[in-house]
């Protein structure tokens, strides 16, 4: 899960999508184009938009060597940044984009995505069966999952003096941990601990429930050192922080005494995906690119280099056992991940989440 932007940028996304139609397209998802399985890929080119360092740097060169397709990579810092390009009107020039699942859902509902043609992506067979059951796109009709994971508690056992197992340990920490706790600032994950403690969905759109979530977060704020999406790992290593809300891949469990646990109340299932734009003029090459990423040797790069699990059974089977020992969250099974609640697009409730996050994190 690539770090997402602040609440203000999410608000910009909502406004951008609204400007393109005010919600899901009345025409529904676009029909698939007729594609040529035998197309000469050397005559096609691709522009891929991805986060920095989120795929092998030599992937464009190796893909060209296999197919003859020239690949240009553009980088985006946030989901909101690339979605703004894709929804600005006209041809963005982007053929394939990496976005988080709920954003893929929103783009599909706007009719901006080409349906995935399974016959052009034979390596879909490498995906874990659970990867076809994702809440934002069941059956992978418009997106192909790239990485997935969950959110939990990352803690220093030597500093906490016990093993926390509840979101309450974060929201209402023991007195000795006051001001030695951090929470994620990005709105979906800022809300998550309170939603789970209160027994609500991570996708709730109920105003009364959201009011309770806000009240819980406001009370928790007094015990926090900071809202921190980026440096909590270093703070744990230095001992400045004893307990942090963290994405699984960002918890430095290779360090002595640092552990990761999914709280007993449950957590989320986040997914980053690959999508093909309806406006792409190179859809055969786009499918071939996704197929290449799903090659176990290519997809396994993400596990070894960015420490994120991939929904590719063949790739996960090749992971170095020593890596799994140092980062036990990588060994979490697809079935365990699916116990987490899949994040979906919030639709009209998006601005309410943004407003709460802004009010809670404001100084």
Q: What is the mean pLDDT of residues 323-333?
A: 94
Tell which residue, 337, 290, 268, 348, has the closest CA to residue 309: 337
**303, pLDDT greater than 70:** yes
pLDDT reading at 21 higher than 70: no
Residue 312 has pLDDT above 80, yes or no: yes
pTM over 0.75: yes
Is 11 a residue whose pLDDT tops 60?
no
Mean pLDDT of the chain: 91
Query: Do residues 345 and 103 touch, judged by C-beta distance below 8 A?
Result: yes
Write down the pLDDT at residue 363: 63
Q: What is the DSSP letter of 246?
A: E
Strand boundaries in 67-150, DSSP class E:
70-75, 96-100, 144-149
Residue 320 Cα distances to 141, 255, 264, angstroms: 32, 18, 29
Q: How confident is the model at residue 2 (pLDDT cuts 50, 70, 90)?
A: low
Residue 186 scores a pLDDT above 80: yes
**What pLDDT is stored for residue 8 in this prediction?**
33
- pLDDT at position 80: 86
Task: Mark out the alpha helices in 155-231 (DSSP H runs).
Answer: 157-160, 168-171, 187-197, 207-221
Strands (DSSP E) contained in the chain are: 45-50, 70-75, 96-100, 144-149, 151-156, 181-183, 226-227, 243-247, 258-261, 268-276, 341-342
């Amino acid at each position: 899960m690539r770090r997402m932007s602040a609440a203000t940028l999410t608000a910009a996304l909502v406004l951008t999508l609204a400007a393109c139609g005010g919600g899901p397209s009345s025409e529904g998802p676009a029909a698939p184009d007729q594609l040529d399985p035998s197309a000469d890929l050397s005559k096609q080119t691709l522009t891929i938009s991805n986060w920095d360092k989120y795929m092998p740097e030599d992937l464009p060169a190796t893909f060209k060597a296999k197919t003859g397709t020239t690949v240009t990579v553009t980088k985006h810092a946030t989901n909101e940044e690339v979605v703004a390009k894709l929804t600005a009107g006209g041809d963005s020039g982007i053929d394939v984009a990496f976005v988080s699942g709920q954003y893929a859902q929103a783009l599909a509902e706007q009719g901006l995505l080409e349906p995935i043609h399974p016959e052009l992506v034979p390596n879909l067979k490498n995906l874990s069966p659970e990867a076809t059951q994702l809440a934002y796109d069941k059956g992978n009709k418009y997106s192909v999952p790239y990485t997935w994971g969950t959110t939990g508690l990352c803690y220093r056992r030597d500093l906490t003096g016990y093993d926390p197992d509840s979101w309450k340990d974060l929201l209402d920490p023991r007195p000795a941990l006051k001001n030695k706790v951090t929470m994620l600032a990005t709105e979906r994950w800022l809300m998550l601990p309170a939603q789970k403690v209160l027994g609500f969905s991570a996708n709730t759109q109920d105003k009364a429930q959201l009011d309770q979530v806000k009240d819980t977060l406001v009370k928790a704020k007094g015990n926090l050192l900071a809202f921190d999406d980026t440096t909590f790992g270093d703070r744990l290593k230095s001992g400045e922080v004893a307990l942090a809300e963290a994405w699984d891949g960002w918890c430095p469990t290779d360090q002595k005494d640092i552990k990761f646990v999914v709280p007993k109340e449950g957590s989320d299932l986040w997914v980053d995906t690959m999508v093909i734009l309806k406006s792409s003029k190179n859809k055969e090459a786009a499918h071939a690119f996704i197929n290449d990423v799903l090659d176990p040797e290519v997809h396994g790069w993400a596990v070894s280099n960015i420490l994120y699990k991939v929904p590719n059974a063949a790739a996960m089977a090749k992971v170095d056992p020593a890596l799994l020992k140092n980062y036990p969250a990588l060994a979490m099974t697809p079935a365990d991940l699916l116990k987490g609640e899949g994040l979906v697009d919030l639709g009209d409730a998006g601005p309410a989440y943004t407003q709460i996050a802004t009010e809670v994190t404001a100084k």
